[in-house]
Amino acid sequence: MEEAKKLNITKSLELFEEAKTLVPGGVLGARKPGDFIMGEYPIFLEYGKGCRLTDVDGNEYIDFLCGYGPIILGYREEEVDDAVIKQIKDKGFCFSLTQPYQNELAKKLNQLIPSAELSIFLKTGSDATTAAIRIARAYTGKIKVMRCGYHGWHDWCVEMKGGIPEKFYEDVHEFHYNDLGKLEELMAKHGKETAAIIMTPFGHPLHQKMQTPKPGFLEGVRELANKYGAVLVYDEVRTCFRLRMGGTQELYGVTPDLTVLGKGMANGYAISVVTGKEDVMMAAASKLFISSTFFPNSDGYIAALKTIEIMEREKVIEKIWEKGERFIKKIQALIDKYDIGAELSGVAPMFFVTFSDSDPAMLKGKRTDFYTQMIRKGFFFTPHHHAYISYRHTEEDLSQALKAIDESMAYVSEKYKK
Ligand SMILES: Cc1ncc(COP(=O)(O)O)c(C=O)c1O
């Protein structure tokens, strides 16, 4: 199999050189070239439509990263954008007081999400996970937190600890997805002081294979929270409006006390939520100050209401599961065909192709070569983050992606046989 031709990303690289003189590191966080493959992926995008992206050099990609999660329908989804533009033009969206869409959206969440009774609306996932922890601490009067998964960039949970005094995270203890034994151990030691157990109810640990719950895992965590009087918080920032409208809690039938959501809810507009049981949430109203100039802006509410309307009307999640199931089954068949150490994890709407090899250099080599071939062929997957399928991916887009996966695996297989 011939090696795919390297992309021309000259303009991206030039802009990045300039960016480094203007922004520390050029671009922030998970947008850094090092989070993809240096010299192979574009760094700046120009526009997107549906499931397609075009970078500043004019290269077009069929995209499977979906803005790191919020794009559930597609880029520039006209009905959503039109609703927001109409709101901005006809009524305005930034005022000193709240517009009534807050109530409408809260009522909708109550219909959809098993744990929803009262909701607070914020802007980012990190805002919302941090607010949930503060609410849990205020409600229980306790301080410790057990955590599982990525919960954002704030002091209590960010992985890179630079610039954060230890006292801000010394009461936060980590357990891994599906490791109930570790959580039992932690709770036996710290349970009496534990305010919250916060977890992604679907396993998507950073850079690693995805995990579905082992039988009894989610139920076991729920029981531990009950036993010690800790607030169970589900971080459904990625999974709500992706796996089910009501999130993983609808899919697996275990209900937390608080739920955090964001990303897919508004097809790219900034809005996040902490929603949960009335008794717990009332701590937020009576004891806490949670406020920001931009939290009540109605662009996010309008986008969320319209996105949810489209998703219900067009049965978006069912359709993503249907085409996604067919797609990942065929990916698995390709993995079986080429014995290159590739592994598929996750479920149809969010899945990940990772690599394993007893030799770390071989593992890195195969992974880099596979994803390099894919991006060169115009398919935006990434080696360090799982993929998403959006509503606007057509069967034709997916069959083109399968052809590229087939060829890229054939290339890796030939290269590493030598
Ligand atoms: C599960 C989860 N929680 C929280 C966050 C933080 O959200 P944000 O990046 O909007 O602050 C993310 C972001 O990727 C996430 O995936």
- Closest residue by Cα to atom 3, ligand 1, is 151
Taking only the tens place, the pLDDT of each residue in 265-324 is 999 999 999 999 999 999 988 899 999 999 999 999 999 999 999 999 999 999 999 999
Whether the pLDDT of residue 418 is over 80: the answer is: no
Using a pLDDT cut of 90, give the percent of the chain over it. Answer: 97
Mean pLDDT of 150-166: 96
Atom 7 of ligand 1, residue of closest alpha carbon: 125
Q: Which atom of ligand 1 is nearest the CA belonging to 125?
A: 7
**Ligand 1 atom having least distance to the Cα of 263:** 10
277 vs 206: CA distance, rounded Å? 29
Q: What CATH number has the domain spanning 78-313?
A: 3.40.640.10
State the CATH architecture for 10-75+316-417: Alpha-Beta Complex (3.90)
Measured in Å, residue 390 CA sits from the centre of ligand 1 at 18
Residues 6 or more apart whose CB falls under 8 angstroms from that of 153 comprise 29, 126
Tell me what the mean pLDDT of segment 123-137 comes to: 98
pLDDT level of residue 207 (50, 70, 90 thresholds)? confident
User: Averaged over 197-208, what is the pLDDT?
Assistant: 95
- Output the CA 307–ligand 1 centroid distance in Å: 19
pLDDT the model gives residue 353: 98
| Residue from 68, 71, 150, 177 whose mutation best tests the ligand 1 pocket (most atoms within 8 A of CB) | 150
CA distance 269 to 193: 37
pLDDT in the model for residue 306: 98
Measured from the Cβ of residue 244, the count of other Cβ atoms closer than 10 Å reads: 21
User: Average pLDDT for residues 112-133, to the nearest whole number?
Assistant: 98
Q: What gap in Å lies between CA 164 and CA 160, rounded to an integer?
A: 9
Each residue's pLDDT tens digit, 70-100: 999 999 999 999 999 999 999 999 999 999 9
DSSP string, 149-186: S---SSTTT-S--TT--GGGTTTEEE--TT-HHHHHHH
pTM > 0.85: yes or no: yes
Query: How much is the pLDDT for 185?
Result: 98
The pLDDT value recorded for residue 397 is: 98
CA of residue 318 relative to chain centroid, distance:
19
Query: Is residue 417's pLDDT more than 90?
Result: no
- The backbone torsions φ and ψ at residue 314, rounded to the nearest 5 degrees and listed phi first, read -105, 10
What is the overall mean pLDDT for the chain?
97
Give the pLDDT score at 84: 98
Question: In 10 A of CB 184, how many CB atoms?
Answer: 17
Question: What would the pLDDT profile of 340-385 be if each residue is shown by its tens digit?
Answer: 999 999 999 999 999 999 999 999 999 999 999 999 999 999 999 9
78-313 has the same fold as 10-75+316-417: no
What residue owns the CA closest to ligand 1's atom 13?
A: 152
pLDDT tens profile 392-411: 999 999 999 999 999 999 99
336 Cα–ligand 1 center, Å? 33
**Region 44-68 average pLDDT:** 98
| Contact present, 42 and 56 (Cβ < 8 Å) | yes
Q: What is the pLDDT of residue 285?
A: 87
What are the structural domain ranges in the chain?
10-75+316-417, 78-313
Q: Is the pLDDT of residue 5 over 80?
A: yes
Give the nearest ligand 1 atom to 123 CA.
10
Longest dimension (CA), the chain: 68
Q: What is the pLDDT of residue 284?
A: 84
Burial of 256 (0-12, 13-18, 19+ CB in 10 A): buried
